[in-house]
Structure 1
Amino acid sequence: MMHVVRYLTHPQVNIDPSIPVPRWGLSEVGRARTEAVTATGLFSGTAQVISSGEQKAIETAEIIAAKLGIDVEVREAMHENDRSATGFLVPDEFEEVANQFFGQPQVSVRGWERAVDAQVRVVGEVEHVLARDTPGDVLFVGHGGVGTLLYCHYAGLAIDRVHDQLAGGGCFFAFTSQERRVLHGWRRLEEL
C-alpha cells in the first residue's frame, strides 16, 4: 500500500545571535502558521512524526503530533547543515555563503559541512525510518537546507539552490513511500 511521505521545514523563528542557531525556537508567526495547518486535516493519515533535534523543528513537530495524538521521534542526525564554523551570519552574508554551499556541493565553504555530506546524512536518516515500513503516512520535520538536498535526491536533480524552498520556511514536499516518487515540489503550508 502506498503511503505519503512529507518533509516539512519549520516556519519562522525567533532570531537571536546570542543563542546558538540549533536552539532557536519558533516565533509567534511560525507557531501560528503551524497551529493553523493542524486544522486542515493535511496530516490526518500520518502515523509517524519524525523531527530533527533542533528546537525549532521539535516545536513544529510537537504542535502537529499533539493534534494527531502521537509522539514525536527525534533523530539528531536530521539537523540542518552544520554551520557551526561560522555561527550566526547577518542575512546578506548568510545568503552569500548559502549560495556557495549549494553552488559548490563538494567543497566545505568557510568550514561548513559539505552539501554532498549533508545530503548523504539526511537521506540516510529518512531511509532508515522508511525501512521500518510502518503503516500510515510519515511526516519529517526539519530544515530548508537539508530539505532541499533531500528534495534534490528524490527528484533526481543535481544539488542546486534553484530547488530551495520558498522564503519564510514552513514549506513541504511529498513523495511516495514505496517508489520514492516525488508527488509535488515545495508548497507553503497555506497552499493546501
Structure 2
Amino acid sequence: MAVAYFVTHPEVIIDPEVPVPQWGLSARGHERLQAFCARPILNSVSDIFVSDERKALDCAETLKSLRNLEFRIDPRLGENDRSSTGYVAPPRFWEIVAEFFAHPDTSILGWETAADAQRRIKTAVTESIAGRTGKGDVVIFSHGGVGTLLLCDLLGEPISQNRSQPISGGGCYFAFDADTLAIRHTWQDIVPEQS
C-alpha cells in the first residue's frame, strides 16, 4: 500500500519586513531538507503536493531536483491564515497559537479558525491523494499548524496543541496509509539523529 508523508518545512529566514508566506528556508533548513530528500524512505515516491508558500516550495523544489519528480501546488495546503495580524514576535505569537488551538471555533484576532483550517487541510490532502498520477508514495510539503490539525483528525481526536510537532523550528513529518488514511506513525524528525 502507498504511504503518504506529511512533511513540514524546516527552519526559515524570519524577516518581519517580508510577509510570512514569502519566507524561505534558512541555510540550516536547506541542509536538513537536503538530507531528508536523500533518505531511502522516499525511494518509492511518485507524487509531490505542496503549499504555495515559499518555504514549502523550497522543499518541493529540493525533492524535485534530487528525484526528478514534478510537483503540484495547492494553496489549500497553506498554513492557517494569519494575515489579519501579519508577523507577531514570540512570546506573543505562541500565546495566540495556544488560543487558536484551545478555541477551535473562534477566530483569534481575525485568524482563520482552527476548525475551518482543519476542514480545509483534510479536503486538500484527500483530494491531492485521490488525484495522484503515480502508483507510488506521496509527499505533501506543508506547515506545522495545519499538520497538527490534520494529525488530530486522522487520529480521531479533538483539536489539540498536544499533537504539535516536537521541533519548534519545523522539519518533522508523519506518515499514513494513502488509501485508508490510517496513521503509520506520528511526528518524527525529518533527519533522525545517528545512533
TM-score range, shorter chain: over 0.9
The residue that corresponds to 2:191 in the other structure is 190
Q: How does 1:15-54 map to 2 (within 5 A)?
A: 15-54=14-53
Q: How many Å separate the matches in 2 of 1:73 and 1:173?
A: 20
> In angstroms, what is the RMSD of aligned CA positions?
1.1
Q: Deviations along 1:52-82, whole A, 9 cap, x unmatched?
A: 0000000011101221111111111111000
Amino acid at match of 1:54: E
Q: How does 1:116-155 map to 2 (within 5 A)?
A: 116-132=115-131, 134-155=134-155
Q: How many Å separate the matches in 1 of 2:39 and 2:114?
A: 34
The residue that corresponds to 1:169 in the other structure is 170
Q: Deviations along 1:101-158, whole A, 9 cap, x unmatched?
A: 0010010001000000001111111111122354110000000000111111111111
> Is residue 82 of structure 1 aligned with residue 77 of structure 2?
no
Q: How many Å separate the matches in 2 of 1:186 and 1:83?
A: 24
Structure 1 alignment gaps of length 5 or more: none
Q: How many Å separate the matches in 2 of 1:97 and 1:37?
A: 31
The two structures have a TM-score, normalised by structure 1, of 0.96
Q: How many Å separate the matches in 2 of 1:147 and 1:34?
A: 17
1:43, distance to aligned residue in structure 2 (A): 1.0
SS in 2 for 1:91: coil
Which 10-residue stretch deviates more, 182-191 or 34-43? 34-43
The residue that corresponds to 2:63 in the other structure is 64
The two structures have a TM-score, normalised by structure 2, of 0.95
Q: Deviations along 1:25-53, whole A, 9 cap, x unmatched?
A: 00000000001122222211110111000
Identity %: 39
Q: Where has structure 1 moved over 2 Å in runs of 4 or more? A: none
1:87, distance to aligned residue in structure 2 (A): 0.5
Count of residues in correspondence between the two structures: 191
Amino acid at match of 2:138: V
Structure 2 alignment gaps of length 5 or more: none
Q: How many Å separate the matches in 2 of 1:105 and 1:181?
A: 23
Which 10-residue stretch deviates more, 37-46 or 139-148? 37-46
1:83, distance to aligned residue in structure 2 (A): 0.3
SS in 2 for 1:100: helix
The residue that corresponds to 1:114 in the other structure is 113
Amino acid at match of 1:31: H
